[in-house]
A and B are shown apart, each in its own frame.
Chain A
Amino acid sequence: MLAGSGGPTAVPIVEMSNISMTFPGVKALQQVAFRLFPGEVHALMGENGAGKSTLIKALTGVYAIDAGTIVKSGQEVRFHGPAQAQAAGIATVYQEVNLATNLTVAENIMLGREPRRLGLIDFRAMRKHTRSVLAALNLDIDPGSLLESHSIAIQQLVAIARAVDINAEVLVLDEPTSSLDAREVAELFTVIRKIRDSGVAVLFVSHFLDQVYEIADRLTVLRNGELVGEYLVGDLPRIALISKMIGKELAALTELKQGTRREAAERVAGKSFLTANGLGKAGSVYPCDVEIYPGEVVGLAGLLGSGRTELARLLYGADRNDSGTTTINGAPVKLRTPRVALDNKIAFASENRRAEGLIGDLTVRANIVLAMQSERGWLRQIPRKQQDELADKYIKALDIRPTNPEALVRNLSGGNQQKVLLARWLITEPNLLILDEPTRGIDVGAKAQIQKLVAALSDEGMSVVYISAELEEVLRLSHRIVIMRDRHKIAEVVNTGVTVNDIMETIAAEAGQPA
């Protein structure tokens, strides 16, 4: 499993010890140690809020550390800004490609280091050099083409080529695969292996366990800003890794599992609330059929990028479909905008709370009444008294903290923000509630509360579309599960005795074979 020369006996190229970082009110990292050896792929694992990105930013010079030491090639270093880290041989490729997409591939690889003749850039030499850099990685990309004309996957490879060409000894890949499809991931991995074999230390961050097990030699697990441990990938079974990442949370979740398992088949009967035929959008989701019955929880399962979020957005009109028809309670409806969906009693809580959910600078109260207010139009303001009542009611019902309705929503923790978002939709009394990753990045207590709430709502007759990366969670809550892969709906199962493994196998099945 362990490739290259890297091993515990070798000398680490980077050794971070006793790293602590505190932001006002938050201990982001506490006494964390981290080693990176030449010629290895090292995965950094942890849930949201574990401190992965803070550690990476400390290593790459975006943040300066409060305490601890960073030793690079035997010398203690302190980086002030990414440029210094880069000069020291530590290059980073981010999830959103950080290149100048308006320039050519060659320029992106050579920016800041362009070959010059008589003080002017020598474009011919630049193209030639670029071609050789790309060829060394077996990439066939036209150096003269604009970067923006290429897919994200290729842009990422160009970013890696740039990093390699700068003579990086350490290559940090921060969630490079989150927007790539399977084939693109395979291409990326081939390039990563090539780079690793040339002696570069690769730090790899990904949420996908499969990918980590495929590419990484060693991994470090963080939890709540603390180091859990460093392991050889071969020595650590998946289940052990998951429990190390989740920690004590596991027990609490199993407890919930018993409490909320319910009958499935009986809900899928009678008249559907929403029926979509051939609903799709080019470049987003291939046309598919979806039916949602009153009082049922439909789980959308699939990996990140499988089209699960995109399908949910089509159902809400957040994106406009370009094929297919939708009927609600038997009547045809064109879900062109969120407003139309809202008028049809559909609600949608985005996975991206900060960017697409909450209005950070407004109060909890204003955020809670926002959807109801937009339903009524701007002229008819909800009377202040009613606003206060609604806010108080839901702050109590959902246990939102702080309990002050005039607190700014951006000052709330993730779990409480999620509850505010839920409250916003619940007061509109929707018939269908679409929840995209409602429990991501929130503490376990809030997680259990939200899951219980979903179960209770569906018992009261509300339909729920539930998306989660955690398959256990989807299984625990859903009556029916729609399985997505590569932007296709590939299967739909009634949740009677379905296991995580069944779903994983369905997703993992070769394309083209019936699942």
Chain B
Amino acid sequence: MRKLASHRLVWPAGVLLALLVANFLWNRNFFNVTILNGNLFGAPIDILRRAAPVVLVALGMTLVIATRGIDLSVGAVAAISGSWASMYIINSGDRTSVKVVLTAVGVALLIALVAGAWNGFLVSVLGIQPIVATLVLMVAGRGLAQVITNEKILYPDNTPAYKLIGGGYWLAVPFSILLAGAIFGLTALLTRRTALGTLIEAVGVNPEASRLAGVRSRSITWIVYIFAGLCAGIAGLMLTSNSTSADPNSIGLFIELDAILAVVIGGTSLAGGRFSLAGTLIGAFIIETMDTFVVIAISARSTDVFKACVVIVVCLIQSPEARAWVATLFRGGKTRPPVVMAAVTTTAAPVSASAAELTDIAGRVSS
């Protein structure tokens, strides 16, 4: 199993490496990190800094997806939390007060927590499919953000304490990187040092068996959605504090898609079950590195097309049917019916895949 887990990360890590090399070939100064005014600067730092909010949202998303769920509302939640904090700071009149900023941050996170709990309620208590349940807040959430800001674009700059979250430095390193790193560590601790990780996986693999084993799957579901909400809330603060303006329509727009993408690239299956936080981290880095590469090597306008191609390729790599199809192409295009195809081509498909298929088929035989 350990072998397989490491195997799972080999692909994404390889892709990240390739992207970094590509960046380097295009721009020989890519890895140069300099110290300016006592702070670190350079392309890698930029990538890390830009990845920070995506990493945060993706961490929450990983746990949600591991329980067979999905949270489409994270972008909207980020918008609510960012808007609220900015609005509070602006309305307070005293932008230098640390107390004001702390209150703003505290209440914003509380709101994010409530938003997550709401999703958890819809999914675990009312039993609504996650994609549908979170769609509600995805639609209504940005509306809430607009109501909070009164449809104005906010300018929460000139607030040093708030600026720190997304744009500041601490010990020469961008604070947002430290914050995302700390939350990554906390999540790893939370899932692997407590039983939460195992129970999440149990619920994701087989909800009914988990229930019958006495797992309180309802509270597990609540926890992951609340956690996802909180992460999105922090990401919202990061995004608004780093920009000079905050428009509720654009804060965290499409961040849910980047986050889902990061999770999937990182090797966590959308069907739920075993998850990999490290994989998600690599996935988020891949997305940002890729964006950087496309911008410098091709053009900023092509990023989305490029991203789409990556999504498609990653999905195809994860799809046994696609691998089988490719395998038959290489074997000379002998056509056989799909079921048999899967059985026959296990030898040709990558090792990690054949193991999964093998047991799947064995299951079908004995059942």
What residues make up the interface of A, taking CB atoms closer than 8 Å to B? 23-26, 28, 48-49, 53-54, 62-64, 80-81, 316, 318, 337-339, 341-342, 348, 350, 354-363, 366, 370-371, 373-382, 406-408, 410-411, 414, 424, 441
Q: Of the listed stretches B122-130, B166-174, B194-202, name the one at the interface; the rest are far from the partner chain.
A: B194-202
Q: A263 to B106, alpha carbons, bound, how many Å?
A: 68
Q: Which residues of A contact B362 (CB under 8 A)?
A: 23-26, 411
**A359/B210 in contact, CB under 8 A:** yes
Report chain A residues within 8 Å CB of B358. 24-25
- Smallest Cβ-Cβ distance to B192: which chain A residue: A381
Contact at B363–A410, with CB atoms within 8 Å?
yes
Which residues of chain B are near A411, meaning CB under 8 Å? 359, 362
Establish whether residues B361 and A24, one from each chain, have CB atoms under 8 Å apart when the complex forms. Answer: yes
Q: Do A406 and B2 form a contact, CB below 8 Å, given A366-B198, A374-B199?
A: yes
CB B364 to nearest CB in A, in angstroms, measures 8
User: Closest CB-CB distance, A158 to chain B, in whole Å?
Assistant: 26
CB-CB nearest in chain B for A382: B195
Q: Are A26 and B365 in contact (CB under 8 A)?
A: yes
Known A359-B210, A361-B274, A411-B362; further 7 A-B contacts with Cβ < 8 A: A54-B365, A316-B212, A359-B201, A376-B195, A380-B194, A406-B1, A410-B363
| CB closest residue in chain B, given A379 | B194
Q: How far apart are the CA atoms of A371 and B209 in the complex, in Å?
A: 10
The 5 closest A-B pairs by CB, nearest first: A342-B214, A374-B214, A80-B337, A381-B195, A361-B205
Contact of A318 among B212, B273, B357, B366 (CB under 8 A): B212
Contacts of A348 in B (CB 8 A): 212
Report yes or no: A358 in contact with B337, Cβ–Cβ below 8 A: no
How far does the alpha carbon of A441 sit from the alpha carbon of B363 in the complex, in Å?
A: 13
Most buried by A among B199, B216, B365: B365
CB-CB under 8 A for A363 and B1, given A354-B363, A373-B195, A378-B196: yes
Bitwise interface map of B from 184 to 215 toward A, beta carbon under 8 Å scored 1, else 0: 00000000011110110110011011111111
B340 adjacent to A338 (CB under 8 Å): no
Q: In the bound complex, do residue B363 and residue A370 qualify as a contact, i.e. CB atoms below 8 Å apart?
A: no
Pick from A23, A62, A366, A378: contact of B220, CB below 8 A.
Answer: A378
Pair A28/B365 contact, Cβ less than 8 Å = yes
Q: Which residues of B have CB within 8 Å of A24?
A: 343, 346, 354, 357-358, 361-362
Q: Does B37 make an interface contact (CB < 8 A)?
A: no
Question: How far does the alpha carbon of A381 sit from the alpha carbon of B191 in the complex, in Å?
Answer: 10
Known: A23-B361, A358-B206. A371 touches B201 (CB 8 A): no
9 contacts between A and B (CB under 8 A): A24-B357, A54-B365, A80-B337, A318-B211, A348-B212, A357-B212, A370-B215, A380-B194, A441-B366
**B75 to chain A: closest CB distance in Å?**
28
Closest to A341 in B: B214
* B193 / chain A contacts, CB cutoff of 8 Å: 381
Give A258 Cβ to nearest chain B Cβ, in Å. 31
The interface residues of chain A lying within 8 Å CB-to-CB of B339 are 62-64
> Least Cβ distance of A231 to chain B in Å?
26
Chain B, residue nearest A26 (CB): B365
B residues near A337, Cβ cutoff 8 Å: 211
Residues of chain B within 8 A of A48, CB atoms compared: 366
- Within the complex, what minimum Cβ distance (angstroms) separates B355 from chain A? 9
Given the complex, which residues of A lie within 8 Å of B216, measured CB to CB?
339, 374
Chain A residue contacts of B1, Cβ below 8 A: 363, 406-408
Query: Beyond A338-B214, A370-B215, is A355–B209 a contact (Cβ under 8 Å)?
Result: yes
Question: For the complex, what is the distance from the CA of A382 to the CA of B194, rounded to whole Å?
Answer: 8
Residues of A contacting B208 in the complex (Cβ-Cβ under 8 angstroms) = 355-356
Residue of B at shortest CB range from A225?
B365
Could you tell me if A378 and B194 are in contact, using CB atoms closer than 8 angstroms? Answer: yes
Q: Which residues of A contact B357 (CB under 8 A)?
A: 24
Whether B209 pairs with A359 at a CB distance below 8 angstroms is: yes
Complex: how many Å from CA A414 to CA B367? Answer: 10
Which residue of A has the minimal Cβ distance to B367? A354
Task: Among A26, A28, A354, A370, point to the contact of B213 (Cβ < 8 A).
Answer: A370
How far apart are the CA atoms of A228 and B262 in the complex, in Å? Answer: 54
**Given known contacts A24-B358, A362-B202, A378 and B195 CB-to-CB distance under 8 angstroms:** yes
Inter-chain contacts of B340 with A (CB < 8 A): 63-64
Closest to A358 in B: B209
- A426 CA to B196 CA, complexed, in Å: 22
Residue of B nearest to A376 (CB): B195
Q: Which of A366, A380, A424 has the most CB of B within 10 A?
A: A366
Residues of B within 8 Å of A26, CB to CB, are: 362, 365-366
When distances are taken between beta carbons in the complex, the residues of chain B under 8 Å from A373 are 195, 198-199
Write the B210-235 contact mask toward A (1 if CB under 8 angstroms, else 0).
11111110011001000000000000
Cα distance A264–B216 when bound, in Å? 38
Docked Cα-Cα span, A371 to B213, in Å, equals 5
Min Cβ gap B220→A in Å is 7
User: Given A24-B358, A26-B366, A49-B366: A355 and B195 within 8 A (CB)?
Assistant: no
From B201, B220, B354, B365, A361 is in contact (CB under 8 Å) with B201
Q: Which residues of B contact A49 (CB under 8 A)?
A: 366
Q: Which residue of the partner chain B has the closest CB to A51? A: B365
Decide if B213 touches A338 in the complex (CB within 8 Å). Answer: yes
B28 at the interface (CB under 8 A from A): no
Cα of A360 to Cα of B205 in the assembled complex, Å: 7
User: Nearest chain B CB to A361's CB is how many angstroms away?
Assistant: 4
Contacts of A359 in B (CB 8 A): 201-202, 205-206, 209-210, 213
B331 at the interface (CB under 8 A from A): no
Complex Cα distance, B219 from A306, in Å, reads 35
Kindly state whether residue B301 has any CB partner on chain A within 8 Å: no
CA A381 – CA B200 in complex, angstroms? 13
The answer to whether B336 has its CB under 8 Å from any CB of chain A is yes
In Å, the complex CA distance between A28 and B1 comes to 27
Interchain nearest-CB distance for A406 vs B (Å): 5
| Cα–Cα distance between A317 and B314 once the two chains are bound (Å) | 43
Across the two chains, which residue of chain B brings its CB closest to A375? B214
Closest residue of B by beta carbon distance from A340: B214
Q: When chains A and B are docked, how far (Å) is the Cα of A53 from the Cα of B363? A: 12
- Roughly how many angstroms separate A514 CA and B301 CA in the complex, as a whole number? 83
Name the distance in Å between B127's Cβ and chain A's nearest Cβ: 15
Instruction: Point out the residues of chain B lying under 8 angstroms from A81, CB to CB.
Output: 337
B337 touches A424 (CB 8 A): no
Beyond A23-B361, A26-B366, A381-B193, whether A339 also contacts B214 by CB under 8 A is yes
In the bound assembly, the distance between CA atoms of A276 and B286 in angstroms comes to: 59
A87 to B216, CA, bound (A): 49
**Chain B positions within 8 Å of A356 at CB level:** 208-209, 212
Q: How far is the CA of A12 from the CA of B14 in the complex (A)?
A: 59
Bound: A410/B355 CA distance, A: 11
Please give me the residue from chain B that is nearest to A80 by CB atom. Answer: B337
Q: How far is the CA of A411 from the CA of B213 in the complex (A)?
A: 20
In whole angstroms, what is the CA distance A355 to B363 when docked? 12
Which of B193, B219, B339 has the largest count of A CB atoms less than 10 A from its CB? B339
Query: Are A53 and B367 touching (Cβ within 8 A)?
Result: yes
Q: Which residues of A contact B359 (CB under 8 A)?
A: 408, 410-411
CA distance A54 to B339 in the complex (A): 13
Enumerate chain A residues within 8 angstroms of B195, measured Cβ to Cβ: 373, 376-382
Contact (A64, B337) CB under 8 Å given A356-B209, A356-B212:
yes
